[in-house]
Amino acid sequence: MKKFIFSIFLILNIQNYAGVAKYLAVGVGALLSTVLGYEITQRLKPRNPQYHIVIYPVIGSMLSLFLAERFLKN
């Protein structure tokens, strides 16, 4: 298990824990915004729901990356 985690660090070229936290923040933000976007599209019933499913994870991951960069200064 340790070798697996270490190989992930090598692949992503992460040297410190702040980098890991940034990747986790982006992943969690994208996941939460995907769920939120799905709920919003279920309630609003827009004409093109497939665009909403794509737009919300992008916005969420950008927002979470911005917050991670802001709060995790190296």
Domain ranges of the chain: 15-71
CA angle 55, 56, 60 (to 5 degrees): 120
pLDDT of residue 49: 67
Pick the closest to residue 21 from 63, 71, 60 (CA basis). Answer: 71
pLDDT of residue 36: 77
**Three-state SS at 16:** coil
Q: What is the pLDDT along the chain (74 residues), one digit of tens a residue?
A: 666 666 665 666 656 666 777 777 777 777 777 777 777 777 777 677 677 667 777 777 777 777 777 776 65
Contacts of 21 (CB under 8 A, 6+ apart): 68, 72
